[in-house]
Structure 1
Amino acid sequence: MDLLSLVTVPVAAYLLIAAFVAIDAMIPALPGEVLVVSAGALAAAGHLDVVWAVVAATAGAIGGDLAVYGLSRRALPGALSRTRFGRRVVAGIGRAHDRLGSTSAVAIIAARFVPLGRTAVAAAAGIAGLRPRRFAVFALTGCLLWAGWTVGLGYVTGSVTDAPLWLQVAIGTAIGVLVGVWAGAAHTVMRTRRRMSERARSAAVENAPDEPSPSRTPELVC
């Protein structure tokens, strides 16, 4: 069953979008992004409402992200703590989360646009113990931006070209993947540069010569 066969019942189409996107967060092999781009193209053709398509994609995305986060926060730490390797994994994720610090919001939002990134970051946030409310706010922001962007790709592609639906979806999906890969690479480069700058400053401070203490001029006794 595909989305095109459900456009006569828009509610069913929106539910299908939300379900696929939610499951895609847990099983990235499912074509959730392709379905969202298809919804945008169908909205451009007048078969679906673009606003409701964005709402459905956002609801599915945040639901899937919260599910991955919740499972990682409650189930995975206990399972990993049973083995030495698992404990090392949990400790490594905790240290990575501590290093991210103030950029954790950027990481969570940007990961929504990176293939497979959304699942990895949600799981890492859960294992690292990021506060639920904090993760939910960042994840909702990323999901809303991602849904608007992905539906928009299909809508614009469907509006500016008379190509068949499958070609419109292929073009929109390809653009989305390329932008996602670029966003992930840019975030990695910026984070690496920031860490290198911090290490350079720390090394400069450690290697700086100690300032001589001011010598006292002996007082003359008259």
Structure 2
Amino acid sequence: MTDDVSDEPRRAVGESPAGPSNWNVPNVLTVIRIILVPVYVALLFVAPTDFTWRLIATIVFVVAMLTDLADGHIARKYNLVTDFGKLWDPVADKALTGAAFIAISILGTDGLGAASRTLWIFTVIILVREWGITWVRAAIAKYGIMAANKGGKAKTLTQTFALILFSLNLAFLPGPLQVAAWILMWAALFLTVITGLDYLRHAWAIRQKGRTQES
């Protein structure tokens, strides 16, 4: 979910030429996050109209998101940057948010598919942007690294909180929280699109500069 935060290569100052071992805490947290993706989805579908199961699924989602915050912080603080982390951390993020958006779109706002068409519109636009920017980053890597933009953290937070509320099942939430859930979803969509366009602009500039230096 967090390409703007964790897609950035986790570099370490003073890292030895050989680099740290892949067997470290940040990488373990990344693997745990990957494992939690199917667990979260399975829990959502066990009994989608039962609040207890939806709450358990949401807790798993929150735990998975917390591992994302923790692994990046630990890797930077203790110089535990590895090629494994650079590759799989963003994959884990995209897998988690992608699975969450797809699952809630299938289940709808009541666990029975209601308003699923609307949710699918959000899901398709957001996931096309997320995976598209990941591809763009890889495609221009030979010209330079595309840094995170200022709206990235806000985009990540709005997506996360929107997914938490929708994972709980809006049918179980009071009116104000239902309104908040949709506001967050719209905000997530807006920020996702805006930051995506900004990334494309930045990517084009990096590519043009790189090609100019090559010629």
TM-score (norm 1): 0.33
TM-score (norm 2): 0.34
The structure that has the greater radius of gyration is 1
